[in-house]
């Protein structure tokens, strides 16, 4: 019923969330002739986009991209969607360079352009772009991403485009629910300056509210591993998923998250990412091995896309024990390894979570986060491991390092590093997700669909909220998806006729 609603604000297209996908949707809806309003829950814009490493995948050839995506999406998304995504990857470089004109940002190909790509047909067509420089830009002051500003630069390109178009963005304005009439989405209920207000969407609502990294209930429902910690933007609590569910959306890809193993300490609010970036460098030694609750090695510590799939082996529930024998797992290294480089890579968009990890890990040993033991026997005793088991694990590791071949778990030769110089160090590691991929299902037009595949009228999704990525992620693909899905959602939303339900009686307050 619209006649009782007092609309506090209105726009043709209302975008929920001011991360990357929300901004690209807003830019495209605006450029297609619509008035646009963006509502952001948090005090700052940026979502987790602002924390990204900054790799943005693109493709040279559409057909090859289709082949690769078909293989990696495991039959879990339609051919039409794969076709649209592949086309988006091909068009992405020109589109991004067009946006970059707003502030003279430089776009370049990344040095690690082919890392993290799996050897499937079509792989050679993929490469990674990044925003290499924006003159005078030294990062957003509420965000900490160490020396890597590439994700912040990508976000600045988007934000400057929004500002140049005078698109209003309300921060501290959480959207609470969708307003429908006769099954069509016609607006949202939001809180603006502490007041619950109705915001009218004349043409459509685009949900771009990110994932459910910080919704513990959803994580418990959909993930096998428990717990799975998160880092990033605490505003990503899956609100868009719940809102879409309430108006009849199907959900998909809820099990699939982009994650590795990382650190969480009781006396610090946020979790920390493990140090290697998105992809592994097969020629860079890494100091540690990872052991289970018995002191045995069980995994390749450096997956091809370590930040994507390395959480998966930790999730095993061993019914014979019974229990999770790899949550937490334990990262072990020695004195030489401690000096090899910092083991964590803290990132945050919240000033109070800012933490600078020491380069030689000594500060974290001093804090008691990393435990130090003079002998293997002391380490085993402290961990409750059989000394003989730990000794066998280390002896086997020594063999692997000497032979240069990890026949147990296929870790690349160039990453192997000996563990034999006391003292020894141990630190618990947990499944740690970077971002979720699940959410409302959408079609190739980014229309949210119900369980029967029927579009829910005037409702679109963009970004990692119901991501395209269903099975095996394409490193750099979530930033690509921001561009691809935002372009489609914004343009499609703007192309709809204005709704007419009770329009004569609705009024702007
Ligand atoms: C450390 C890190 C590194 C990464 N590196 C890369 C990389 O190099 N390449 C890559 O492709 N991907 C990377 N990713 C993943 C990628 O950054 C994200 O998947 C992508 O940015 C998600 O964009 P989004 O716009 O969908 O969500 P977000 O950027 O999270 O934006 C969602 C926004 O919606 C807001 N919101 C939530 N609920 C509401 C509500 N109820 N009302 C209003 N607003 C709401 C949130 O506060 C947030 O601002 C990385 C992620 C992290 C955390």
Which distant-in-sequence residues (6+ apart) come within 8 Å of 489 by Cβ? 21, 25, 28, 206, 208, 446, 460, 461, 462
413 Cα–ligand 1 center, Å: 34
DSSP 8-state code for residue 352: G
**Cα–Cα dist 490/492, whole Å:** 6
In whole numbers, what is the pLDDT of the chain averaged over residues? 95
Average pLDDT (197-219) is 98
* C-alpha of residue 209 to centroid of ligand 1, in Å: 8
CB 483 within 8 A of CB 446: no
pLDDT surpasses 70 at 509: no
Nearest CA to ligand 1 atom 3: 52
Helices marked H in 44-102? 62-72, 79-100
Atom 27 of ligand 1, nearest CA residue: 210
Q: What is the pLDDT of residue 349?
A: 83
Pocket test for ligand 1, best of 45, 175, 209, 466 (most atoms within 8 A of CB): 209
Average pLDDT score over residue span 445-462:
98
| Ligand 1 atom nearest to 238, measured from its CA | 38
For a substitution probing ligand 1, which of 56, 129, 176, 479 has the most ligand atoms within 8 Å of its CB?
479
Q: Model confidence over 354-413: pLDDT tens digits?
A: 899 999 999 999 999 999 999 999 999 999 999 999 999 999 999 999 999 999 999 999
pLDDT band for position 351 (cuts 50, 70, 90): confident
Give me ligand 1 centre to Cα 27, in Å. Answer: 17
What average pLDDT does this structure show over 55-70?
97
The CA 136 to ligand 1 mean position distance, Å, reads 25
Q: For residue 26, count CB atoms less than 10 angstroms from its CB and return exposed for 0-12, middle for 13-18, buried for 19 or more.
A: buried
Q: Which helix (H) or strand (E) holds 365?
A: helix 362-366
- Quick one: tokens of 215? 């919704």
pLDDT tens by residue, 454-489: 999 999 999 999 999 999 999 999 999 999 999 999
Give tens-digit pLDDT for 131-181: 999 999 999 998 989 889 999 999 999 999 999 999 999 999 999 999 999
* Cα(489)–Cα(88) distance, integer angstroms: 12
| DSSP string computed for 374-439 | SSHHHHHHHHT--HHHHHHHHHHHHHHHHHT--TTT---GGG-----SSSEEEEEEEEEEEEE--E
**pLDDT at residue number 3:** 60
- Cα-flanking dihedrals φ and ψ of residue 415, to 5°? -100, -5
Nearest protein CA to atom 10 of ligand 1, as residue:
476
Q: What integer pLDDT is reported at residue 111 of this predicted model? A: 80
**Cα–Cα distance for residue pair 310/5, rounded to 1 Å:** 49
The residue-averaged pLDDT of 273-300 equals 91
353 pLDDT exceeds 90? no
Candidates 235, 238, 234; CA nearest to 253 is 238
Centroid of ligand 1 to alpha carbon of 48 (angstroms) = 3
pLDDT of residue 14: 98
Percent of the chain with pLDDT over 70: 97
CA of 385 from ligand 1 middle (Å) equals 40
Calculate how far, in angstroms, residue 236's C-alpha sits from the geometric centre of ligand 1.
8
Look-up of token digits 């879409």: 244
Q: Tens of pLDDT along 99-133?
A: 999 999 999 998 877 778 999 999 999 999 999 99
- Asked if residue 322 has a cis previous peptide bond (ω within 30° of 0), the answer is yes
**Distance of alpha carbon 147 from its chain centroid, rounded?**
19
User: Which residues lie below 8 Å from residue 295, measured CB to CB, with a gap of 6+?
Assistant: 330, 380, 383, 385, 386, 389, 390, 393
pTM metric for this prediction: 0.96
CA 127 – ligand 1 centroid, Å: 21
Residue 497 is classified by DSSP as: P
pLDDT greater than 60 at residue 84: yes
Closest approach atom of ligand 1 to CA 480: 11
Ligand 1, atom 50: nearest CA belongs to which residue?
A: 52
Provide mean pLDDT across the span 287-302.
97
Q: Which two tokens stand for residue 181?
A: 């009439």
Please, which residues have CB within 8 angstroms of residue 402's CB and are 6 or more apart in sequence?
A: none
SS3 state at 219: helix
Ligand 1, atom 52, residue with closest C-alpha: 52
Asked if 416 and 404 touch (Cβ cutoff 8 Å), the reply is yes
Distance CA 380, CA 467 (A): 43
Tell how far the Cα of 70 is from the centroid of ligand 1, in angstroms.
25
Protein residue with its CA nearest to atom 26 in ligand 1: 463
> 486 C-alpha to center of ligand 1: Å?
13
Are the CB atoms for 36 and 167 separated by under 8 Å? Answer: yes
**pLDDT of 434:** 94
Let me know: does 158 contact 46? Beta carbons within 8 Å.
no
For the CA atoms of the chain, what is the radius of gyration? 24
Q: Mind listing the domains of the chain with CATH numbers? A: 2-255+437-508 (3.50.50.60), 258-433 (3.90.700.10)
Most ligand 1 atoms within 8 A of CB, residue of 52, 110, 147 to mutate? 52
8 A C-beta contact, residue 465 and residue 205 = no
Nearest CA to ligand 1 atom 19: 478
Nearest residue CA, atom 11 of ligand 1?
476
| pLDDT higher than threshold 50 for residue 336 | yes
* 500 or 380, higher pLDDT: 380
Q: What gap in Å lies between CA 204 and CA 459, rounded to an integer?
A: 6
- CB count, 10 Å around CB of 60? 13
By most ligand atoms within 8 Å of CB, the mutation choice from 15, 16, 17 for ligand 1 is: 17
The angle formed by the CA atoms of residues 208, 211 and 193, to the nearest 5 degrees, is 60
Residue 276: pLDDT over 90 = no
* pLDDT computed for residue 2 by the predictor: 55
Where is pLDDT greater, at 167 or 500?
167
Please report, for residues 254, 270, 427, the alpha-carbon distance to residue 235 in angstroms, rounded to integers and kept in the order given. Answer: 18, 13, 29
Ligand 1 site residues (CB inside 6 A) read 16-22, 39-42, 47-49, 51-55, 174-175, 208-210, 232-233, 235-236, 239, 278, 347, 434-435, 463-465, 476-479, 482
Rounded distance between C-alpha atoms, residue 436 and residue 438, angstroms: 6
Ligand 1 atom with minimal separation from the 42 CA? 47
Query: Does the pLDDT of residue 503 top 60, yes or no?
Result: no
* The predicted structure's pLDDT at residue 142: 87
**How close is the Cα of 433 to the center of ligand 1, in Å?**
12
pLDDT at 137: 97
Q: Cβ–Cβ contacts within 10 Å for residue 15, how many? A: 36
Residue 82 has pLDDT above 70, yes or no: yes
How many whole angstroms from 210 Cα to the centroid of ligand 1? 5
């Amino acid at each position: 019923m619209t006649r009782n609603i007092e609309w506090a604000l209105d726009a043709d297209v209302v975008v929920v969330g001011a991360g990357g996908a929300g901004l690209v949707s807003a830019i495209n809806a605006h450029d297609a002739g619509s008035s646009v309003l963006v509502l952001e829950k948090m005090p700052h814009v940026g979502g987790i986009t602002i924390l990204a490493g900054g790799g943005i995948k693109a493709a040279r050839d559409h057909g090859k991209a289709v082949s690769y995506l078909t293989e990696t999406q495991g039959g879990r998304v339609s051919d039409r969607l794969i076709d649209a995504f592949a086309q988006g990857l091909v068009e992405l470089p020109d589109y991004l360079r067009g946006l970059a004109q707003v502030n003279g940002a430089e776009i370049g190909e990344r040095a690690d352009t082919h890392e993290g790509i799996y050897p499937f047909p079509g792989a050679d067509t993929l490469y990674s772009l990044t925003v290499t420089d924006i003159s005078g830009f030294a990062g957003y002051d509420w965000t900490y991403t160490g020396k890597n500003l590439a994700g912040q630069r990508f976000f600045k390109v988007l934000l400057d485009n929004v500002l140049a178009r005078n698109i209003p963005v309300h921060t501290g304005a959480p959207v609470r629910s969708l307003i429908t009439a006769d099954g069509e989405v016609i607006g949202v209920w939001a809180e603006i300056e502490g007041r619950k207000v109705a915001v009218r969407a004349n043409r459509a609502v685009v949900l771009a509210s990110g994932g459910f990294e910080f919704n513990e209930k959803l994580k418990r429902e959909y993930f096998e591993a428990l717990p799975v910690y998160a880092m990033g933007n605490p505003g990503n609590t899956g609100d868009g998923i719940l809102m879409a569910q309430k108006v009849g959306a199907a959900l998909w890809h809820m099990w699939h998250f982009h994650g590795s193993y990382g650190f969480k300490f009781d006396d610090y609010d946020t979790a920390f990412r493990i140090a290697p970036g998105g992809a592994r460098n097969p020629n860079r030694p890494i100091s540690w091995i990872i052991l289970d609750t018995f002191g045995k090695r069980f995994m390749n510590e450096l997956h091809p896309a370590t930040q994507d799939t390395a959480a998966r082996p930790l999730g095993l529930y061993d019914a014979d024990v019974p229990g999770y024998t790899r949550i937490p797992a334990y990262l072990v290294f020695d004195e030489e390894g401690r000096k090899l480089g910092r083991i964590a890579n803290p990132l945050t968009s919240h000033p109070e979570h800012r933490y600078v990890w020491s380069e030689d890990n000594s500060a974290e040993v001093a804090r008691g986060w990393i435990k130090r033991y003079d002998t293997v026997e002391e380490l085993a005793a402290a961990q409750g491991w059989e000394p003989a088991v730990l000794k066998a694990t280390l002896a086997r590791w020594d063999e692997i390092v000497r032979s240069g071949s990890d026949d147990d778990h296929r870790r690349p030769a160039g990453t192997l590093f000996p563990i034999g110089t006391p003292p020894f160090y141990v630190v618990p590691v947990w499944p740690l997700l970077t971002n979720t991929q699940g959410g409302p299902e959408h079609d190739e037009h980014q229309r949210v669909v119900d369980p029967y595949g029927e579009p829910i009228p005037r409702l679109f999704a963009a970004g990692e909220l119901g991501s395209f990525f269903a099975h095996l992620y394409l490193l750099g693909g979530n930033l690509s998806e921001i561009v691809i899905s935002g372009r489609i959602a914004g343009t499609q939303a703007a192309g709809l006729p204005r709704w007419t339900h009770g329009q004569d009686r609705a009024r702007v307050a």
